[in-house]
Amino acid sequence: MAKRVALAYSGGLDTSVAVRWMIEEWGVEVVCVLVDVGQDADSSESFDDIRARALAAGALDCVIVDARREMAEEFCAHAIYANARYEGKYPLVSALSRPVIVRHLVDQARKFEAQAVAHGCTGKGNDQVRFEVGTHALAPDLEVLAPARNWGMSRADSVDYAEKWDITIRASKEKIYSIDENLWGRAIECGAMEDPWAAPPDEPYTLTRITNEERVELVLNFKAGLPVAIDNEAMSLDELIATLNHRAGATGFGRLDMVENRRVGIKSREVYECPAALAIIAAHADLEDLVLERDVHHEKARLETRWAELIYDGMWFSPLKEALDAFMIDTQRFVTGDVRLSFEAPGLMRITGRRSPHALYDYGLATYDAHDTFQHADSEGFVKIYGLGVKTWAARQGAKNATPRSS
């Protein structure tokens, strides 16, 4: 067993209990690593409060790393290029932050000369895979510990354990939601959400509480595949995401309620708040409709699904993901232009316009009015050649296959 462990620390119930539990049960020194990936946006407590909780639980130290811009520019950016939504819905809120955290967890483990890293994930979640596979990719020599897979405590038991050791936590036996937050959105599970028939309670929502019932219209300005401004007001990507979370979320837009297939083989009901992520991906995909050549567009759509699966499954640091990144980046050279979005309470969004200096849309070819420049006569030969294979098959085989079968 390692003597010193670097723990990926969130300040929540599981990781706070993990600090004390590892000290008591395994006799190790614990260094907490709290990586700020934007989870402080609507928090009622400061990072100083969370750091104090770690130290009160017995941690040797609690290092706080500001990785918000890194999260946006190195991780969210690639998700935007790939229009990444796992199973066509989930924009990888938690999955995107895990490789960011792993990178800094390994870095701090080296600085503190720890022999192992640890996380607070259970045995049935996706995050255990993301933390452990990511660590093995970056530091195959480090041991990876998972106290929540060993202690055998329910969430109610963990609340009791925290009370026993005077660890102040925000969860209770009555309100045992598990919430993970970063600048790309919020993931909410446990409690009433575990019944897929039950409507989610309004209580845990923060980003998408309706505070503006007026229509909000804005234009996202893109350059080489990334949003760089709102209504021509330039801002960094992390600032833009935060701004859009606020403006779109205020109309109630951005909630997801879905049953998803976890990597470990079980189905889980998950609720998400991700107004900026969903709006940006929708706008980006719409702009690509305008500028990407047909075959590139179709092939990219197929690879987007695979890219999202890789990230969901914890394979950020993998050769296939790196290869797919190269393809995605290459397709973004001409994804520059503007997309107009309209948000209306409660929770509705429409794309009402798009334009680009690289648009492949040609009015003369598309219109049916007097300005039509399409050579209609050319289509006769095209259609004949295009359907020649089917026509030949029909002449030889199709007639007998088309005869109705007797019941």
What gap in Å lies between CA 205 and CA 218, rounded to an integer?
24
**Length of the chain as a residue count:** 407
User: Which phi and psi (to 5°) does residue 389 adopt?
Assistant: -65, -45
Q: Pick from 20, 240, 250: which is nearest to 120 by CA?
A: 20
- Using left for φ > 0, alpha for ψ between -120 and 50, and beta otherwise, residue 379 falls in alpha
What gap in Å lies between CA 351 and CA 248, rounded to an integer?
13
- pLDDT tens across 70-116, in order? 999 999 999 999 999 999 999 999 999 999 999 999 999 999 999 99
What pLDDT, on the 0 to 100 scale, is given for residue 286? 98
- pLDDT tens across 266-281, in order? 999 999 999 999 999 9
Q: Where in the sequence numbering do the catalytic residues fall?
A: 14, 98, 127, 178
- pLDDT tens across 45-60, in order? 899 999 999 999 999 9
Determine the residue type at 405: R
Percentage with pLDDT > 90 across the chain: 79
Residue 345 scores a pLDDT above 90: no
CB 349 within 8 A of CB 357: no
What pLDDT, on the 0 to 100 scale, is given for residue 252? 97
Peptide bond into 275 cis (omega under 30): no
**Which domains occur in the chain, in start order?**
4-180 (3.40.50.620)
What pLDDT, on the 0 to 100 scale, is given for residue 187? 94
- pLDDT tens across 183-231, in order? 999 999 877 788 999 999 888 899 999 999 999 999 999 999 999 999 9
pTM for this structure? 0.92
What gap in Å lies between CA 179 and CA 12, rounded to an integer?
9
What pLDDT, on the 0 to 100 scale, is given for residue 42? 45
**Would you place residue 285 in the very low, low, confident or very high pLDDT band (cuts 50, 70, 90)?**
very high
What pLDDT, on the 0 to 100 scale, is given for residue 43? 56
What pLDDT, on the 0 to 100 scale, is given for residue 41? 44
384: enclosing H helix or E strand? helix 378-386
Determine the residue type at 68: R
- pLDDT tens across 137-170, in order? 999 999 999 999 999 898 889 999 999 999 988 7
Name the average pLDDT for the chain: 93
The angle that helices 319-331 and 294-312 make with each other, rounded to 10 degrees, is 150
